[in-house]
Amino acid sequence: MAGRFRRHWKRWLIAGVATVAVLTTAGPYLYINYIQDDPPAALSLDSPPTTPESTSGSGSGSGSGEQASGSVEGAWRVGGGSQAGYRVDEVLFGQNVTAVGRTEEVTGDLEIEGTRAASGSFTVDLASVRSDSDQRDGQFRGRVMNTERYPNATFELTEPVDFGSVPDVNKEVTGEATGDLTIHGQTNSVTFDLTAQRTADGFRVNGSIPVTFADYGIDAPNFGGITVEDKGSIEFLLAFTPA
């Protein structure tokens, strides 16, 4: 009797271990491929604004018309409809996923001279960034970015961006931006492509800044069965209105 019990116990133990192994492998696969929503598409000029874009500071209809038909020189500010965030690839229990976090808490300004963005900067409130996972957001605000000590990410132009022309409404122009990106208390020079589109009362600017975490003193944000790539990007879509 005792020998038969031990044999049964071993079979139950092996079956239990096998079941756990299957669930550990199949569970994430089923969740990621059949239950979890696809990650948001990369921010682009085709992305609809999250909130209505604000009009000129005075609210004047004639001011909007002048901006649409005439010069765009002068001072501008980041307005409603702007958003920014991160995109990074993860491996979740052997399954490849893309993590995306975003916020509308973005501020900034821009000075345009002729067809050039002569100076400008924007700031992202990192503590307000949200993804589809509360656990990921807690790690992001805590040990990854330490938003209590480093609450913001900031980009500032160090060279003018020449778009070559002032586009008509709804037309796009491209340029290359060079500036200082500050994250986690460390600053690096970065260069990336920009696309701008004129709107009826301003314009929108879209870009993606590559980020290598080690360049900013950020430890690889791995936790709880999740392995994160050592590189990601900061995406942004900024709606500018007259300052």
- 85 neighbors 92 (Cβ within 8 angstroms): no
pLDDT of residue 90: 86
pLDDT of residue 52: 52
Across the range 89-104, mean pLDDT stands at 88
pLDDT of residue 49: 60
Pick the range with the lowest mean pLDDT from 60-74, 117-131, 229-243: 60-74
Q: What are the beta bridge partners of residue 206? A: 195, 237
Across the range 90-96, mean pLDDT stands at 79
Name the average pLDDT for the chain.
82
Q: Which residues contact 186 (CB under 8 A, 6 or more apart)?
A: 215, 216, 217
How do residues 187-203 score in pLDDT, each as one tens digit? 999 999 999 999 988 99
Across the range 80-105, mean pLDDT stands at 91
Distances in Å between the alpha carbon of 85 and those of 51, 73, 222? 16, 28, 19
pLDDT of residue 95: 83
pLDDT above 90: percentage of residues in the chain: 60
The pTM of the full predicted model, rounded to 2 decimals, is 0.77
pLDDT of residue 4: 59
pLDDT of residue 64: 39
- 99 neighbors 236 (Cβ within 8 angstroms): no
Residue 26, pLDDT > 50, answer no
Would you list the DSSP string of 34-69?
IISPPPPPPP-TTSPPSSPPP--TT--HHHHHHHHH
Q: SS3 letters for 3-38?
A: HHHHHHHHHHHHHHHHHHHHHHHHHHHHHHHHHCCC
pLDDT of residue 35: 42
pLDDT of residue 28: 43
Closest CA to 196 of 230, 142, 227, 236: 236
Q: SS3 letters for 172-222?
A: EEEEEEEEEEEECCEEEEEEEEEEEEECCCCEEEEEEEEEEHHHHCCCCCC
Structure tokens at 60: 């004047």
Q: What are the beta bridge partners of residue 69? A: none
Closest CA to 218 of 116, 123, 149: 149
Could you identify the residue written with the tokens 């132009």? 157
Phi, psi of 14 (to 5 degrees): -65, -40
Across the range 38-52, mean pLDDT stands at 80
What SS3 class is residue 143? helix
Read off the DSSP letter of residue 2.
H
Across the range 133-146, mean pLDDT stands at 92
pLDDT above 70: percentage of residues in the chain: 73
Q: Which of 84-93, 134-143, 207-216, 220-229 has the highest mean pLDDT?
A: 207-216
Which helix (H) or strand (E) segment is 144 a member of? none
Across the range 37-58, mean pLDDT stands at 68
Across the range 138-166, mean pLDDT stands at 95
